[in-house]
Amino acid sequence: MTEQQLREQMVTLARSMFERGYATGGAGNLSLKLPNGHFLATPTGSSFGRLDAERLSVVDIDGNHISGDRPSKEVAFHLAIYRNNSECNAIVHLHSTYLTALSCLEGLDTDNAIKPFTPYFVMRIGKLPVIPYLRPGDPRIAEELAKRAADYRAFLLANHGPVVTGSDLIDAIDNAEELEETAKLALMLDGKSIRYLSDEEITDLQGRGK
Ligand SMILES: O=C(O)[C@@H](O)C(=O)COP(=O)(O)O
Ligand SMILES: [Zn+2]
């Protein structure tokens, strides 16, 4: 896809997420890798419902602002993931309701906040490590994500929300939506007797693709 097509895709997909309630107000941010090696990101303070293709931010791998409006304050953590995972070409950060609710719970397993009970979670996400709470925009979020970026496709920022990667923006958003629905189910099932997938069933799903 050309840069112009990728700009228009970001605007269209962001609006769709906004209209379906995955993003509200000015929360969340998106980025994707451009054909020239730069990165397209949502401007800081922008709403997913009202992005302008011509005003999207462009930054280089070192975070230098190349063009467009001022980039998201989280662009440093997006770049930390790209630097450490060559398979990642797009990133979605949301404050979606169920994942954010999950991120506020005490006693989460920090290696994997959602114990698998459906195949698609295993196939699309695998595991969901929890990043300790840091205020939005804190440069240490990038350090924490850099340490884990090579090994995971998604992360849960404690008391904040998810960060989800993909091979392109459609893939990253599909992963984010699947993860949000899985968190919704996990919270619906809280306190009920769940039949979790067995280790054997999880192993059988791993490496089969989506
Ligand atoms: O939670 C926050 O403040 C940020 O992580 C966020 O979601 C929106 O920040 P910008 O991308 O700078 O608008
Ligand atoms: Zn945020």
- For 160-207, write each residue's pLDDT tens digit: 999 999 999 999 999 999 999 999 999 999 999 999 999 999 999 997
- Does residue 120 have an active-site annotation? yes
Residue having the nearest C-alpha atom to atom 1 of ligand 1? 136
Interface ipTM: 0.99
E-only strand ranges, the chain? 29-33, 39-41, 57-59, 65-67, 90-93, 130-131, 154-157, 161-166
Q: Give yes or no for residue 28 having a pLDDT over 90.
A: yes
Question: Which ligand is nearest to the Cα of residue 48, counting in written order?
Answer: 1
Residue having the nearest C-alpha atom to atom 11 of ligand 1? 72
Q: Cβ(59)–Cβ(75) under 8 Å?
A: yes
- Does residue 3 have an active-site annotation? no
Question: What is the domain partition of the chain in residue ranges?
Answer: 3-205
Residue having the nearest C-alpha atom to atom 4 of ligand 1? 136
Cβ neighbours, 10 Å, residue 134 = 18
Question: What letters, b where the CB count within 10 A reaches 16 and e where it falls short, cover 57-82?
Answer: bbbeeeeeeeebbebbebbbbbbbbb
- Which atom of ligand 1 lies closest to the CA of 94? 7
Question: Which CATH code fits 3-205?
Answer: 3.40.225.10
Q: Give yes or no for residue 210 having a pLDDT over 90.
A: no
pLDDT (tens digit per residue) in 29-55: 999 999 999 999 999 999 999 999 999
pLDDT (tens digit per residue) in 96-125: 999 999 999 999 999 999 999 999 999 999
What's residue 170's pLDDT?
98
What's residue 207's pLDDT?
74
- Which atom of ligand 1 lies closest to the CA of 160? 1
- Which atom of ligand 1 lies closest to the CA of 95? 7
* Active-site hit among 3, 19, 22, 74: 74
Query: pTM of the prediction?
Result: 0.97
Residue 142 in tokens: 């990038």
